[in-house]
Structure 1
């Protein structure tokens, strides 16, 4: 287990989790803001995307009250991404997450998850900043992130291809 905060647990992704990822990433409600409804996952795609890369991402499952409910990943920003975002030699981490079990939406769990992950990255990875780049139209997520202490830095125009169209995203950051 990476960390626990009350009923919330975050642990490293395991092989058995592929079935839940395929379930969640084939749900149009989840895909509306994560990956795109035209980009559903099956088990083969889950294996290719989540299990075959040798990158620096910390790929994790999110549990709440003993149930697997979502996914979160964290990764140090490489130099190219730092330059793109206007940062330099700081230790900066990015995070991406979703709650795949939609009955857990709008219950404050996303806020608990993001604040807990930021604390973990600051305390254990010595991150100076944590950044995300949500689509500007994802107002529910942005509201959650602002509750967690993230601030909007700037618009990233045409930053993410989603459902066949490029969308603007916010660069948001949490800074000590």
Structure 2
């Protein structure tokens, strides 16, 4: 990502269709918030704009899971990565692009970061995303009760994992 991508993130993260599943419709982003969350933070996440057919359509980030998070999720060892993503251009929803995105990132993490597992924690109610992730080979591990604050309510999430073949 670079500074030119700020306006894309503002556009996507102020769209109520996107926010219904990512961040919440009560949590729209403006330029200041995008800068604070995506550019001015010092987290160990690799943040990328997703392009499809040379058009920017979404966002993905990946990060190595720290020891405390591993323990909280029930993992005792391994090189485990987490990913988060969204397609911000909604006309690309339900076209297989999300499946291509997720499977490509998982392959990258196995090849280049030597990941043993890749995990995510989507909300239980996000059925379209869960179908996508299952098509990519993710398996449901366990429910994480009241795991994510979304639109003023703590929501249950699934811990899902993809294990290297």
TM-score range, shorter chain: over 0.9
Where structure 1 has 5 or more consecutive residues not aligned to the other structure, the ranges are 1-12
Distance across 1 between alignment mates of 2:31 and 2:144: 32
Residue of structure 2 in register with 1:161 after alignment: 149
Residue of structure 1 in register with 2:93 after alignment: 105
Pair 1:59 & 2:47 matched = yes
TM-score by length of 2: 0.99
RMSD: 0.4
Pair 1:33 & 2:21 matched = yes
Distance across 2 between alignment mates of 1:88 and 1:33: 30
Cα deviation, residue 89, structure 1: 2.0
Moved over 6 A (4+): none
Pair 1:145 & 2:139 matched = no
Pair 1:127 & 2:115 matched = yes
Where structure 2 has 5 or more consecutive residues not aligned to the other structure, the ranges are none
Distance across 1 between alignment mates of 2:29 and 2:38: 11
Distance across 1 between alignment mates of 2:76 and 2:51: 34
Distance across 2 between alignment mates of 1:107 and 1:62: 15
Distance across 1 between alignment mates of 2:40 and 2:106: 26
TM-score by length of 1: 0.93
Distance across 2 between alignment mates of 1:127 and 1:58: 15
Task: Name the count of aligned residue pairs.
Answer: 164
